[in-house]
Amino acid sequence: MATTYIRRTDGRRAPQTGGRSSGYGRSSSHSYGNRSSFGGNSSRGSFSSHSQARPKGKRGFQEMSIDLSKLINKAVVGEAPEVFIPEHQFSDFALDGRLKENVAKKGYITPTPIQDKSIPHVLDGEDIVGIANTGTGKTAAFLLPLIDKVLNDRNERALIMVPTRELAIQIEQEFYGFAKGLQINAVCCVGGAGIEPQIRVLRRKPNFVIGTPGRLKDLMERGELELSVFQTVVLDEADRMLDMGFIPDMRFIMAKMSKKRHTLFFSATLSREIEGLIGEFLNKPARVSVKTRDTARTIDQDVIRVGNGESKFEILVGMLKNDPTFSKVLVFGRTKHGVERLAKDLGSRGIRADSIHGDKTHGRRQKALGLFKQDHVQVLVATDVAARGLDISGVSHVINYDLPSTYEDYTHRIGRTGRAGLAGKALTFI
């Protein structure tokens, strides 16, 4: 098994082991890892730290060992993927005819596995646990049957709880695509945006409330959100909410809801802690799991070793400027300050770049995402706040400029590329 250690920023390096590497480019001495001897499809994380990689003084990070086999995985080329044969078409589901028309207008004909297996359970009013990789269509799997439920009973109200504001906004946008012309409204309640406009919409009693735990709790404490009247709750990206420390807020919110509620629970992973939450929040749920592997087979994964005397930044600039395949690149950094600085430094070298991180206002984050989605910038530099839930089409590369804290974070980062069957590439600096 190949193991390496993070290079300390004070220049000292711990021993590395591994196979021979093939060079990237003709003149650079950095290289990709040995592709031939690794699989990298274990379901559990492989990043193990001797510390939490916290700063050690003003310079340098304590070393953290990683298993390179998890970061090097050749994309499958020329091999036909497993063909999923759904039990239903969207037209087969017992959905309102007007909703079916909106679905058809969006070009949806054949459901994804999580949609095919989940929607009938939700329509039947069952609690459900859905386990699926990111980017598999989980949002439509709960939105479509819940919109149908509201069309059948206009007094029905649903709460959708998610870990990040970007995911909440994305769900709201998808909601209005499905609910066009149906006179059903939603409100997006997230931090970083003004609370007064959210309160004004809440007072009109929208059927759907989509929000992050912190803002939802704030609204409840102000007396603006009464959850006892909500019959349905969706907990989306539950594993991420666990990772981000939202469980106390989740418990506070769930305790205010009816015991007879309809609960939908979605997660990319199934750990002991997640099982505990399922037992706590759900009642005899149907279980749907369509997760087959940690990372999509369409993602070519590799590492870039940075040698003594080399500049990681210069290597990155060289790739972005000299290789036209780096057309839409998501770069992940560890800290908010580092991400902001890297975006500015790339801009000073003539590379169209922007950043997204927790210190940016809600509006500036949305603007940066919009510029990236519309190809007005080539590079979006991000902290892990952007690693989950975001659906950005056509990302050619994900680059781990700084190593993620866990293997799970790694899989969610690189899941931004290679989506919808398209090829993608993930590169990790070592």
Q: How far apart are CA 70 and CA 314, in angstroms?
A: 25
- Tell me, what's the pLDDT at 422? 76
Cα atoms found within 13 Å of the Cα of residue 239, Cβ hemisphere only: 20
pLDDT digits (tens, 9 = 90+) for 106-129: 989 899 999 999 999 999 999 999
CATH number at residue 249: 3.40.50.300
Return the percentage of the chain with pLDDT > 90, whole number.
Answer: 57
Identify the residue with better confidence: 274 or 419.
Answer: 274
| Helix-then-strand count for the chain, H and E | 13, 16
- Which residue type is seen at 94? A
Give yes or no: residues 65 and 128 share one domain: no
Residue 221 has pLDDT above 70, yes or no: yes
Residue 393 has pLDDT above 90, yes or no: no
Give yes or no: residues 35 and 118 share one domain: no
5: pLDDT confidence band, cut at 50, 70 and 90? Answer: very low
Most confident of 55-64, 93-102, 400-409: 93-102
Length of the chain, please? Answer: 430
- Tell me, what's the pLDDT at 402? 93
Look up the domain containing 369 and give its range. Answer: 3-78+294-429
* Residue carrying structure tokens 């991420």: 240
Give yes or no: residues 278 and 336 share one domain: no
The Cβ of residue 345 has, within 10 Å, a number of other Cβ atoms equal to: 15
Domain boundary among 289, 315, 344: 289
Q: Are 188 and 210 in contact (CB under 8 A)?
A: yes
Q: Distance between alpha carbon 127 and the CA centroid of its chain, in Å?
A: 23
- Tell me, what's the pLDDT at 408? 75
Q: How far apart are CA 252 and CA 218, in angstroms?
A: 11
Q: How far apart are CA 72 and CA 40, in angstroms?
A: 7
End-to-end C-alpha distance for the chain, whole angstroms: 16
pLDDT digits (tens, 9 = 90+) for 279-320: 999 999 999 988 655 666 778 888 999 988 899 999 999 999
- The domain total for the chain is 2
Residue 31 has pLDDT above 70, yes or no: no
Q: How far apart are CA 218 and CA 123, in angstroms?
A: 31
Question: Does some domain include residue 83?
Answer: no
Q: How is 133-169 classified by DSSP, letter by letter?
A: -TTSSHHHHHHHHHHHHHHH-TT--EEEE-S-HHHHH
Give yes or no: residues 398 and 382 share one domain: yes
> Mean pLDDT, to the nearest integer, of 186-190?
97
358: pLDDT confidence band, cut at 50, 70 and 90? Answer: confident
- Tell me, what's the pLDDT at 295? 66
Q: Which two three-digit tokens encode residue 115?
A: 């949609």
Domain boundary among 289, 324, 341: 289
Q: Are 61 and 6 in contact (CB under 8 A)?
A: yes
> Mean pLDDT, to the nearest integer, of 207-218?
97
The rounded mean pLDDT for the chain is 81
The Cβ of residue 14 has, within 10 Å, a number of other Cβ atoms equal to: 14
3-state helix, strand, coil in the chain (%, to 5): 35, 15, 50
Point out the least confidently predicted range of 100-109, 125-134, 146-155.
Answer: 125-134
Residue 72 has pLDDT above 80, yes or no: no
> Mean pLDDT, to the nearest integer, of 218-224?
97
- Tell me, what's the pLDDT at 35? 31
